[in-house]
Structure 1
């Protein structure tokens, strides 16, 4: 590929990005699109926009950019939780690192690459992009010290920034754990694999066991039940009642629109139905119905009197048979994935092996589209395989589009199938929390994209060639050193297509927009649902950002021309995702920053891989000095990773006994323990939480919140009070 083909791809993607961003700035102003672009605010308020016609609504404006830029980290923490702040921190970290890399490599490494061989540069636009890579440097050149120096600067600055980010996010996680809001999971133990007895029910078994061995600390327990068909119908009926209540609140202000009886009194059918359901609900004892319609599973939530007692019980082996009485800290009530609690514990290891094998098979099946994509970048092979295209491939513009734009587009289309598939695998594995399922999916998608987008594309060719390249482990650095500079041009176009254009598609929300158009203009449904927003897709966006980071590190000294494109992507992503967190996505559950250890390990892997490839390149270029200085850098990076693993990683895996005991003493001195025990009784009410999962998280502390809709829902009012308390520690931990 030459520079003109790269510029063609850049021009296409810039046009798409600018057009979609301009269109977004217009569409977001239309009252009919409130549910698409302001789903978060719609979920927390009943405000409906019915603005009069104005030409200003049809003029593009950068107002959303200014609002996204001016939003503080404390506001993001209030709106999106710790995970949202951690994700933005990933982008900020990437911007800082690649700003340093771009300055060093563009002004130091790129001129060395371009003038690495004695050749006459006449027309830059028609030259191959290989002249901008390290492949253009002569063997034994003394200028390779520039690449080694740049590698040292990038590696040291990355480790320096990683350390302080890890330290800051660890403090943020500690503040999240010690916030004054009650977290029922700190008092709750999830017990699985309860042994079956023909003489006792599972509930009696749990009570007898914990009264026998934890008599002084055991408080109570809550069994996990299997919902019957009647219970599901009750849940669906409750949802319909909520819809009618929402419609009622919309029509209360316009009673004259309903027909009147002969006596002149207006009748509102929605009000009548809502009142009837409330009266029926008041006379029905749901606890009695639930107890008669459910079947116990061998899983229970066990409540303890203090946080310290709970964590001690979670760490102890409860039985001589480790497959019985298996305990762990329970997830937060809103984070519980109830359907997986019913999976027998003995099946979990089989499920994990099965999903691992399925993921490996899926990974190798995906080699077929990746091989096809790489065939598009090799016009000689393409014309030989498809002779009828030879005349078309002689056209310059067609050649530039096929080699510079089409391969990355085709690969992106195939990649859309990866996150849903990995989410299915993570669900089958048996994760007991929504956040845990997303974390598992994030790791799977990350491994998959690194392998298929990076390694398979670097070592492209036939499938047999891709497999045979790993016949000797010692040849891997050499193979990568030879292949990465060649494939750097493909990664440049991939950053343009999967980076810039995908961000514009993300902010446009085309599927939601299409659904909204069909709903309002085809099916004539004018009302917006009060809970139309959905949660942030960390399992797709975190791997995408980390993949671009890997590409940036590897190509920084080998093909530095990619760095400006990457830097623009991270800057644009910073604005787009801040806007989405503010206006579109809601926070149903929060892992408390558990994504950062994944980011840290992926960044260290990218650094070490970059150093190993650089070592191979220096060996090929016969620069013993540069090779000798690279080896200590690899060792130092691994030692830094080991130190961070000892210093920060345990705080993300376990809860501190010192912190929990201090929280217990604080609550005991304040006389809150009885109040906490009372709240624990209903914290893990299965049927209420399965129906209203995540709704409490959607209620922000807004003065214009829907008082009428929330009056009949006590859990909403409790969540509002909790959300107001969240702001106090949030202001303290913002950096």
Structure 2
């Protein structure tokens, strides 16, 4: 990449950052967006309405200073533990970036600039020079200055590890203190058991009660067997949608009329009557859910899973960590998720089906990662204009324009790569949802791990490999050099075949 392309990319990204900061500073002050930006304050009873003022339409950067002026205690009390961890993550990243920047600018850059390539630089045309003169490639071969790079890598790695250890201890202590200060939750006394073996002589409920009473006679409390109730889940989903609509109607005090089939002349209905209409629907759904639950307790099919309740959190943790059966595919225990976090589709699946689904998802993730090399190769190719001209000759006239060249080599590759990476989290989330997890949090954690490994492979490894592959394709398509390449490659392959056939 040349210097002018880098400066063009920096300029475009800086302009976008200023634009986004400006839009945020305006949108956050609009009363209609309070439910997005300050939901916690609204839940605590803050005012939803604000009189119109011109200051609402003028961007102001004072929120940045206020955000950084908060102490950790104030941030924890106002926004919770998640916000505190997020801010610690930002400060951790800034520390690493600052330390690595100081090492790079004041140590590595002077070492790299002492190489021989600087003699060929045209100072008058500095923006047209390549950035390679500022990298390790400018250090003379065999020079002892290479040790400076090694020590710099060790220093940055050691500083990063130290900061990671410090942040891990701090966040872990905060989580432990938050756990001890919070009230006990029902799911902390509960263990989920699935892959329960079936028997013709007794039901699944009787098997669970007999099994856990024998293992934990003093701490076992009760259990609930999970039943297949798809109709109840459909009703619950419908009720959630109606509840969201009612919440939106109550939150929006400015809109007075809504389209509905039963209002004045069958076209409009007032907001209050529409809320009453949805409220009656919720009451009907609630009654249907009670009837379906009563039917399910009597005739619904039992799944091979159950929630087992204990008298103490220690007993539940002990039941989870100790293997309850000699057969590892039966009586599988895991911590019970919170009620709102339960993901029901895989509760009734056997151990083998869950294991097969996980194996299939792993294979699909690997194939998806390999196929994603296509946009990575394209992005890598955009940084080399000579290779683009060989592969796509019709672009020569366009690439002759200097500004177009700077945009293509400096900004377009990162834009294409980032737009392509936007597809990764939804795909990984879908794959994790069919992997056999029984809670939304486990699905999100699994998807996050997949995205992390995907990013590490494609950003740190695939980009380098794709650059080498693209360079080899460029050599193969160069007809002037293909004869020489064949003259070197064919005898080498013949020699390897002779060695395999006669000297193995």
Partner of 1:349: 355
1:141-186 per-residue CA deviation (whole Å, 9 max, x = no partner) reads 2333433342343233223222222222221232233234112232
Distance in structure 2 (CA, Å) of the matches to 1:154 and 1:392: 42
User: Deviation of residue 100 (structure 1)?
Assistant: 1.8
User: Deviation of residue 353 (structure 1)?
Assistant: 0.8
Secondary structure, counterpart of 2:355 in structure 1: helix
Distance in structure 1 (CA, Å) of the matches to 2:472 and 2:317: 48
Partner of 1:178: 180
Aligned pair partner of 1:291 in 291, 294, 299: 294
Partner of 2:4: 4
Q: After the TM superposition, which residues 103-114 of structure 1 pair with which residues of structure 2 at under 5 Å, given as runs?
A: 103-114=102-113
Change (3 A) 1:241 1:454: closer
Partner of 2:51: 51
Distance in structure 1 (CA, Å) of the matches to 2:108 and 2:241: 62
Query: Considering only aligned residues, what root-mean-square deviation do their CA atoms show, in Å?
Result: 3.2
Distance in structure 1 (CA, Å) of the matches to 2:234 and 2:185: 28
1:578-627 per-residue CA deviation (whole Å, 9 max, x = no partner) reads xxxxxxxxxxxxxxxxxxxxxxxxxxxxxxxxxxxxxxxxxxxxxxxxxx
- Matched pairs, number: 453
User: Deviation of residue 80 (structure 1)?
Assistant: 5.3
Distance in structure 1 (CA, Å) of the matches to 2:187 and 2:101: 45
Q: After the TM superposition, which residues 568-717 of structure 1 pair with which residues of structure 2 at under 5 Å, given as runs?
A: none
Change (3 A) 1:130 1:28: same
User: Deviation of residue 466 (structure 1)?
Assistant: 9.1
Change (3 A) 1:65 1:219: same
Aligned pair partner of 2:443 in 434, 437, 458: 437
Change (3 A) 1:190 1:78: farther
Contact 2:377 2:470 in 1 (8 A): no
Change (3 A) 1:437 1:285: closer
- With normalisation by structure 2, the TM-score equals 0.80
Secondary structure, counterpart of 2:116 in structure 1: coil
Partner of 1:335: 341
1:460-516 per-residue CA deviation (whole Å, 9 max, x = no partner) reads 24759899xxxxxxxxxxxxxxxxxxxxxxxxxxxxxxxxxxxxxxxxxxxxxxxxx
Contact 1:4 1:400 in 2 (8 A): yes
Secondary structure, counterpart of 2:181 in structure 1: coil
Partner of 1:25: 25
Secondary structure, counterpart of 2:302 in structure 1: strand
Contact 2:117 2:133 in 1 (8 A): no
Unaligned runs of 5+ in 2: 257-262, 264-269, 474-504
Distance in structure 1 (CA, Å) of the matches to 2:4 and 2:369: 34
Distance in structure 2 (CA, Å) of the matches to 1:401 and 1:64: 33
Contact 2:235 2:289 in 1 (8 A): no
User: Deviation of residue 437 (structure 1)?
Assistant: 1.4
User: Deviation of residue 279 (structure 1)?
Assistant: 8.0
1:667-689 per-residue CA deviation (whole Å, 9 max, x = no partner) reads xxxxxxxxxxxxxxxxxxxxxxx
Q: After the TM superposition, which residues 243-262 of structure 1 pair with which residues of structure 2 at under 5 Å, given as runs?
A: 243-244=245-246, 247=249
Unaligned runs of 5+ in 1: 260-265, 468-735
Partner of 1:85: 84
Secondary structure, counterpart of 1:341 in structure 2: coil
Partner of 1:147: 149
Distance in structure 2 (CA, Å) of the matches to 1:208 and 1:323: 19
Contact 1:245 1:270 in 2 (8 A): no
Distance in structure 2 (CA, Å) of the matches to 1:417 and 1:466: 29
Distance in structure 1 (CA, Å) of the matches to 2:279 and 2:5: 67
Does 1 or 2 have the higher relative contact order (CA < 8 Å, sep 6+)?
Answer: 1
User: Deviation of residue 445 (structure 1)?
Assistant: 0.5
User: Deviation of residue 85 (structure 1)?
Assistant: 3.0
Change (3 A) 1:69 1:203: same
Change (3 A) 1:390 1:315: same
